[in-house]
């Protein structure tokens, strides 16, 4: 696909031409408070995309300044998911490693007389902040002397005050039209064990103070973030400049990825996990990268999706069908074709011998490859592929009719057998002689082609099929949970060649869809597959 220049690249191009920078350094800064989701993939593709395009660098930096919600499990999952998506970071860094330097920067601001310790509680601070239409009021503690502020801040650090009793605030402008500049909080007192620094600290920096410093310490040139931080940019610049970084990194905002029928907030995804609605963060229905990996989405397809979505300056919602489209296109190019029967009935074919066929793996391959599939007079076919009383326009096997077995003979109906409830148990056919491809009777007109599996040579399979986690609509997420989003077919049969595949291998099950072998594939003779996507969809990609 032709890559056009987006507005971020234009900024970078200008900065390179003007000589402001000669190396581009970006970063991906996740907070380790959950698993990465498809929205993060968008940010990853942009940040690592810049590294590749400009032969620069991209750091993986954990924004771990809030000990309350962070966990080492998340740190590990994030690394695994980024690597899986195909990106290599230049350095693995932790904001918590900068706590000392950040503290020193805060002391510097106090010394400059532009930060002060405030004793108001959260409610009072909010009250004094004012509104969008009215200015705020100065804190009564705003005019403390530098010496007093230094002393109090040191005591905050040394644990002399209880949680929430004091904060360090920037002294900017309580009348600023930008509420973020109304003496924002820089540090708070908080006792909680941090996953890396343990109990070393009982004060923690706020995001708006920490983030520009993290970027500046690392020499980040372009700090790419989502639109909701646009109003924070003046504060970002205030912090970096007053802490001695000028010009320092430039913050650039782009539109957050949003998708219909998809939850993209870690907080809410965590709720689904904690309340047991899904089977962990990597449940194949989750919009997390690990869930998509388990489901069988190719990493390349996710990157292609992000590329197609593009980089925008205003928020919009992308149709989930577009991701499915990218996944399907990718698998159509890359997945081998095999035969699996989901809901089997028996077919007896009279007067045939055991045979072995070479089945083409993928018609899209330039260099053709094949796998072996055995055939005999006893097969499994799909229950739906034979009907005693067929609906109109039915194109498969009917009483008295003929159908082609994919890659094999044309067969003609002879008889069938029902159980006590009138369900079909088996159907008996005869093979038309010389009707295989290239044979004299191969050209006979038949209604359809059906897939089959040799009943004397197969593996038992379990198929997991999924629907969206949310039913369509605008209501609250919790009222839109799809209770039927996981279906299990544990009676399926697959051709023998599937015996030798590996976990996460993906296939097109002919006429059914794309499926991927689950992570524990073949262990204890369990052959389970997740359906990745169906074969066709109504989504129309705009060219």
Q: Is 464 in the site for ligand ATP (CB under 6 A)?
A: no
Residue 256 is among the residues annotated as catalytic for this protein: yes
Stretch that binds ligand ATP, among 118-126, 264-272, 355-363, 457-465 (CB under 6 A): 264-272
Q: Taking CB under 5 A as the rule, does residue 467 contact Mg ion?
A: no
Instruction: Measure Cα distances from 174 to 94, 127, 138, 180, 266 in Å.
Output: 33, 12, 6, 10, 33
Look-up of token digits 């869809």: 513
- Is 126 part of the annotated catalytic residue set? no
Question: What whole-number distance in Å separates Cα of residue 461 and Cα of residue 341?
Answer: 9
Instruction: Choose, by CB under 6 A, the member of 6, 138, 180, 226 that binds ligand ATP.
Output: 226
Q: Residue 261 or 266: which CB sits closer to ligand ATP?
A: 266
Which spans in 6-121 are helix H?
Answer: 7-17, 38-53, 72-85, 99-111
3-state SS of 346-387 is: EEEEECCCCEEEEEECCCCCCCCCEEEEEECCEEEEEHHHEE
Q: Of these residues, 9, 31, 148, 360, which one is catalytic?
A: 31
Beta-carbon contacts of residue 55 (< 8 Å; ≥ 6 apart): none
Q: Does the footprint of ligand ATP cover residue 39 (CB under 6 A)?
A: yes
Judged by CB under 6 A, the residue of 12, 25, 43, 302 near ligand ATP is: 43
Catalytic residue among 256, 430, 480, 496: 256
Please, which residue, 44 or 301, has the CB nearer to ligand ATP?
44
Nearest distance from residue 257's CB to ligand ATP, in Å? Answer: 4
Is 266 assigned a catalytic role? yes
Tell me the residue number closest to ligand ATP, measured at CB.
39
Nearer to Mg ion, 74 or 515 (CB): 74
- Residue of 350, 366, 325 whose CA lies nearest to 538: 325
Among 12, 24, 26, 40, which residue sits at the site for ligand ATP (rule: CB under 6 A)?
40
Measured distance CA(77)–CA(31) in Å, rounded? 12
Beta strands at 57-62 and 25-28: parallel, antiparallel or unpaired: parallel
* β-bridge pairing 115-118 and 167-170: antiparallel
Q: Name which of ligand ATP, Mg ion, none residue 42 binds, using a CB cut-off of 5 to 8 Å depending on partner kind.
A: ligand ATP
Q: What whole-number distance in Å separates Cα of residue 344 and Cα of residue 404?
A: 17
- Site track 27-66 with Mg ion (rule: CB under 5 A), x = hit: ----x-----------------------------------
The DSSP 8-state label assigned to residue 458 in this structure reads: E
Instruction: With CB under 6 A as the rule, give the number of residues binding ligand ATP.
Output: 14
Judged by CB under 6 A, which of 266, 295, 337, 404 binds ligand ATP?
266
Interaction site with ligand ATP (CB under 6 A) = 29-31, 39-40, 42-43, 225-226, 256-257, 264-266
- List residues with catalytic annotation: 31, 256, 266
Residues that bind Mg ion (CB under 5 A): 31
């Amino acid at each position: 696909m032709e890559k056009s220049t987006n507005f971020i690249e234009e900024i970078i191009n200008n900065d390179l031409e003007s000589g402001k920078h000669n190396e581009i350094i970006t970063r991906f800064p996740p907070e380790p408070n959950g698993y990465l989701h498809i929205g993060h993939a968008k940010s990853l593709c942009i940040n690592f995309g810049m590294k590749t395009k400009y032969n620069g660098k991209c750091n993986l930096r954990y924004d771990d300044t809030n000990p309350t919600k962070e966990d080492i499990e998340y740190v590990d999952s994030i690394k695994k998911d980024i690597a899986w998506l195909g990106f290599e970071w230049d350095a693995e860094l932790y904001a918590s490693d900068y706590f000392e330097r950040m503290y020193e920067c805060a002391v510097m601001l106090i010394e400059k007389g532009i930060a002060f310790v405030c004793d108001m509680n959260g409610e009072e601070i909010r009250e004094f902040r004012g509104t969008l239409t009215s200015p705020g009021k100065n804190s009564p503690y705003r005019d403390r002397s530098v010496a007093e502020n230094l002393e109090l801040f040191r005591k905050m650090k040394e644990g002399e005050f209880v949680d929430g009793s004091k904060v360090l605030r920037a002294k900017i402008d309580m009348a600023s039209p930008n509420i973020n500049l109304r003496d924002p909080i820089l540090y708070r007192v908080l006792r909680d064990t941090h996953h890396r620094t343990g109990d070393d600290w009982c004060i923690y920096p706020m995001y708006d103070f920490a983030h520009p410093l993290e970027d500046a310490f690392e020499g980040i040139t372009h700090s790419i973030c989502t639109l909701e931080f646009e109003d924070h940019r003046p504060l970002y610049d205030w912090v970096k400049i007053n802490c001695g970084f000028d010009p320092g990194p430039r913050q650039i905002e782009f539109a957050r990825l949003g998708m219909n029928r998809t939850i993209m907030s870690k907080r809410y995804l965590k709720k689904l996990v904690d309340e047991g609605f899904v089977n962990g963060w990597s449940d194949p229905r989750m919009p997390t990268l690990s869930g998509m990996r388990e489901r069988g989405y190719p990493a390349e397809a996710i990157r292609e999706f992000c590329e197609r979505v593009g980089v925008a300056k205003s928020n919009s919602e992308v149709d989930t069908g577009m991701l499915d489209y990218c996944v399907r296109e990718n698998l159509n190019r890359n997945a081998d074709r095999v035969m699996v029967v989901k809901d089997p009935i028996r077919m007896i074919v009279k007067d045939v011998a055991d045979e072995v066929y070479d089945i083409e793996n993928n018609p899209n391959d330039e260099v053709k490859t094949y796998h072996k599939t055995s055939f005999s007079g006893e097969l499994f076919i799909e229950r739906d592929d034979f009907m005693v009383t067929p609906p109109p326009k039915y194109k498969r096997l009917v009483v008295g009719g003929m159908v082609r077995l994919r890659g094999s003979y044309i067969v003609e109906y002879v008889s069938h057998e029902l159980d006590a409830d009138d369900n079909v148990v088996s159907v008996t056919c005869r093979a038309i002689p010389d009707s295989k491809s290239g044979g004299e009777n191969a050209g006979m007109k038949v209604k359809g082609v059906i897939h089959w599996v040799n009943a004397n040579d197969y593996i038992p399979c379990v198929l997991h099929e999924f629907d969206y986690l949310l039913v369509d609509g605008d209501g609250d997420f919790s009222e839109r949970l799809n209770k039927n989003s996981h279906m299990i077919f544990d009676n399926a049969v697959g051709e023998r060649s599937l015996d030798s595949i590996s976990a996460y291998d993906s296939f097109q099950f002919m006429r059914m869809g794309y499926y991927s072998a689950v992570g524990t594939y073949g262990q204890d003779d369990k052959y389970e597959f997740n359906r990745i996507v169906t074969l066709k969809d109504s989504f129309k990609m705009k060219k």
